[in-house]
Structures are given as structure tokens and as C-alpha cells.
Amino acid sequence: MFRALLLSQDDDGTLSHSITELDDADLPDRPVMVDVDYSTLNYKDGLAIVNGAPIVRTWPMVPGIDLAGTVASSDDPAWSTGDGVIVNGWDVGESYWGGMATKAAMDGGWLTPLPDAYTSHQAMALGTAGYTAMLCVLALEEHDIAPDSGPVVVTGAAGGVGSVAVAVLAKLGYEVIASSGRIETEGDYLRELGASELIHRDELSGPARPLGKTRFAGGIDTVGSHTLANIVSQTQPHGCVAACGLAQGMDFPSSVAPFILRAVTLAGVNCVYEPAERRAQAWNRLAQDLDTAKLDAMTDTIGLSDVPAAAAQILAGEIRGRVVIDVNR
């Protein structure tokens, strides 16, 4: 038997969730069984738990797009009993049962070795949010945005992706402008992570002009919509904005002017299906470029029964930094 948070949907579309004891035989038939230690709460998990579809595509569903644990048994020669592993993405927690359970059945190709630098708790403190933040940093570097290029803006800065992005960019020597709706309550937190300037997100959340006064060499945007449009329109020539999120909205009410008149690059980031080499690169860089003291400072740990309330909070923009889920608690 194992313990899981199980999401269900009735015939009339009503969603429900419960902490349930399930039989191992209930698990899907997949080659690698993992004893899960921790999962995490990402924005996408919040959408899955509160809204169900379109994130959840089969029912019932064990949510959790991330997990960290130990291989309990494996029919895949690439993995052995006792291996420390993590999973980020691959539609786990969306189409396939995910990490918010004490056991998970996984395909070998979804697994990444637990990075040497991290405990399973720290790996989940990073989770999809941290790994995506590093993919965004890599995108900026690959478009030649260096610390001496000028300031880099991070939106949704007090959230999970944003917090890791601020801390990593600051450690790398970038001048980080943190955009947040919570400057009054989280201003000190953002400065401690390394932000050198704070701007209220209202400055960026209204309709954008085709070309604004340039103020950023680049950006990491976790909120989309008008905010992304404003950042792009205020990015200097040959700058780059890495876009990964939609907390404000999925629309992008912009113009081509920044692209054709300033040669600005909009770099899309999708962590879900990145190949193993890219994942390894991102995790290695996190180990190198993020202080674990800052990671600890941005992380809270909750139990499985706390997850539904926390899911509503993350969608309301009320979660600071990262939330680890101790599935045994």
C-alpha cells in the first residue's frame, strides 16, 4: 500500500481530492518503481489541483510534476535499486501519475540522477521552478547577455521561478531588477536574494507601447501578457527576454517593433521535454551558481494534507519562493 493525493472528477465535472491509501497494483505498469521522498508545489500543480483540466488529462490523477526519491525496483537496465533520482516534467502529474505520493511508477527516460550536489529535499526545493529559472539564465547567456550588458529584469520575482532567477543572476554578477506585486512585504527578501532594484509589477502590467524607453539588457518573464509585452518593448537593441510563464495571462499583446527595429530576441523556454543533456547542464549550473543558503531561505516544507490549500495560494500569488512537499508527512 502507498499514500497519495488523488484528484478525481465526477461525470458532471465536479472536482474532488483526497489523501488515499492505494494498492501497489493500482500503479500504472511502468518499468521503474520509485519510493518518493519529496515532491514540490509549482504553479502548474496549483492549476491541476484547483482547476483540473486542461492540465489534468486523465482521471483519477496523482498530481505532482516533480519528485525526488530512490529506485525501489527497475526493469530498465539504466536504473538500479537504490539509485537516487529526480523527475521534472514529461507530463508526469498531468497525463501520468506524479510525485504527490509515496510511490511512483516511472519510465526510465523520465528519470534524471539526483545531482551529487543536492539532497532529495534540496532537489525539490529547486524542482521544475528552479530548473526552469536556470534554463532561462542559459537562454540569456546564449544570446550574449552578460553581466556588463546592463540590468536584467525578473518578473514574478517573489514566486518560485522568480526567486531562483534573482538569486542565480545576482551571484553571476548581473544587476537584477526584481518586479513584484509584493514589494512591501517581500522587498527585504528580494534584496537578500540579490535584487539591486525593486519595481512594482503595476509598472509593467498595463498595455505596452510598441517601443518604450530602453531600460533592460534582458529579462526573465514568468507572467506573460502585458508584462511580457512591456519588457520586450523596453529592452535595449540586441537584448533578449526569456519567457516561461503566464501568471498574468497567456496572451501576448505586443508589436513586432522591438524585434524588427531593435533586434530584440524573445527566447521561449519549455522545461517539460528538454533532453537529458540540457537537464544535466541546467542542474550542474544550479549547483555552481546558486548559494544553498539562499535556496534554504526561499523554501518552506509542507505535508500532503497541506497541499490543496497551498495550491489555491500559489494561484493567488501568495506563495513566496518554493514549497517542498514531504509526501510521508
Ligand X SMILES: NC(=O)c1ccc[n+]([C@@H]2O[C@H](COP(=O)([O-])OP(=O)(O)OC[C@H]3O[C@@H](n4cnc5c(N)ncnc54)[C@H](OP(=O)(O)O)[C@@H]3O)[C@@H](O)[C@H]2O)c1
Residue 71 vs 125, nearer CB to ligand X: 125
> What's the CA gap between 298 and 309, in Å, rounded?
19
CB 168 within 8 A of CB 242: no
Residues 48, 282, 31: CA angle, nearest 5 degrees: 60
What is the sign, positive or negative, of the torsion defined by CA atoms of 271, 277, 282, 286? positive
Q: Does residue 98 touch ligand X according to CB under 6 A?
A: no
Residue 53 vs 78, nearer CB to ligand X: 53
Residue 39 vs 205, nearer CB to ligand X: 205
Instruction: Kindly identify the residues of this chain, within the stretch 241-270, that bind ligand X according to CB under 6 A.
Output: 244-248, 269-270
> What's the CA gap between 100 and 41, in Å, rounded?
9
What track of x and - describes contact with ligand X for positions 33 through 72 (by CB under 6 A)? ---------xxx----------------------------
Q: Does residue 223 touch ligand X according to CB under 6 A?
A: yes
Look at strands 176-180 and 197-200 and give their pairing.
parallel
Residue 111 vs 314, nearer CB to ligand X: 314
91 contacts: CB under 8 Å, gap ≥ 6: 57, 272
Name which position in 17, 103, 201, 279 contacts ligand X (CB under 6 A): 201
Residues 101, 279, 245: CA angle, nearest 5 degrees: 75
Instruction: Kindly identify the residues of this chain, within the stretch 134-173, that bind ligand X according to CB under 6 A.
Output: 156-162
Q: Does residue 126 touch ligand X according to CB under 6 A?
A: no
Residue 145 vs 223, nearer CB to ligand X: 223
Q: What is the DSSP string of 131-167?
A: HHHHHHHHHHHHTT--GGG--EEEESTTSHHHHHHHH
Stretch that binds ligand X, among 17-25, 175-183, 233-241, 251-259 (CB under 6 A): 175-183
List of residues contacting ligand X (CB under 6 A): 42-44, 128-129, 132, 156-162, 180-182, 201, 205, 222-223, 227, 244-248, 269-272, 314, 317, 319
